Amino acid sequence: MQRQPAVAGQFYPGSESTLRGALSGMIPEQAVKRAVRGIISPHAGYIYSGAISGQVFSRITIPDTVLIIGPNHHGAGAAAALYPDGEWVTPLGVTAINSRLNSLLLQHGPYLRSDTVAHDHEHSLEVQLPFIQYLRPDVTICALCLGQGDYPPLRDIGCGIAAAITEYGGEVLIVASSDMTHYESADVARQKDRQALERVQALDGKGLLEICRLQRITMCGVAPATVMIEAALTLGASQAELVAYGTSGDVTGDNRQVVGYAAVTVF
């Protein structure tokens, strides 16, 4: 099965040459790269959030296997939809699904179901892949699309992912795809996002869910971020670092209603 791009030419350039040029401009050259367990990277159109994603991808070593976890914006398909064996296509080429890790994720991951419907039109995972392909052309991936959930099942999914990665035996990067506050003023967005990111930096997945609900922080990938944190903790992570933060207002100059974007490493 081959997953064709749904938002090429919309969220990011649709031709290989233009996309490579855009990525080269968004990914700064870094002297030092760090091995990490997971990251948070935003998923808006590259014109808005690509530079923030570029900063986090530039600072990490990308292993040959990456698990991308994104939110389900459309509500279609399974609640925890793992894309089945096959390939994902972008203008940069074809990337294979890692069938062995896929099998282990289904074996160890409670609630996970093999499903394509949730992925058909979902942009949150797709926009991460060109960054990964550009920096690690030989990569294989797994792709998990999540609906919203309470902490206990998300914790269990995270622990199941950690068990699958442990049995897999190789290094796996977990990419949690998320934007932050949506359609508030820049000042309000920054204040709300600061609260959410404090919980992320404390590696407090439960607290992240709670603060987002209590303060009505519209972090669309709060479930993927929580799952990534829980998996990374189980795998031995002990620190998180905020790499970059910005809003759409930084690009457009209109700070009345913005979307916030954050890049975080967990190691």
Map out the domains of the chain as residue ranges. 2-266
Q: What is the value of pTM for the model shown?
A: 0.98
| Distance of alpha carbon 174 from alpha carbon 64, whole angstroms | 12
Question: What is the pLDDT averaged over residues 12-25?
Answer: 98
* pLDDT for the residue 18: 98
Q: For residue 258, give the nearest of 197, 196, 189 by alpha carbon.
A: 189
Q: For the chain, what percent of residues have pLDDT higher than 90?
A: 99
- Cβ(43)–Cβ(128) under 8 Å? yes
- The first and second tokens of residue 243, run together, are 């790499």
Segment 65-87 shows an average pLDDT of 98
Residue-wise pLDDT for 152-180, tens only, equals 999 999 999 999 999 999 999 999 999 99
Position 159 scores a pLDDT of 98
What pLDDT is recorded for position 11? 98
pLDDT at 134: 98
pLDDT band per the 50, 70, 90 thresholds, residue 30: confident
Are the C-beta atoms of 160 and 53 separated by less than 8 Å? no
pLDDT, average across residues 248-266: 98
What six digits make up the tokens of 120?
A: 């058909």
Predicted pLDDT of residue 31 = 75
| Whether pLDDT at 24 is above 90 | yes
Mean pLDDT of the region 5-9: 98
pLDDT at 32: 85
- Calculate the alpha carbon distances from 103 to 80, 212, 258 in Å: 15, 32, 40
Which pLDDT does position 74 carry in this prediction?
94
CATH superfamily of 2-266: LigB-like (3.40.830.10)
Mean of pLDDT values over 78-92: 98
- Residue pair 243/59 in contact (Cβ under 8 Å)? The answer is yes
On the question of pLDDT at 15 being above 80, the answer is yes
Contact 164, 109 (CB under 8 A): yes
For Cα atoms 79, 116, 144, give the angle at the middle one, nearest 5 degrees. 55
Q: How far apart are CA 36 and CA 266, in angstroms?
A: 6
With 0-12 / 13-18 / 19 or more C-beta atoms within 10 angstroms meaning exposed / middle / buried, residue 29 is exposed
Quick: pLDDT tens for 186-207: 999 999 999 999 999 999 999 9
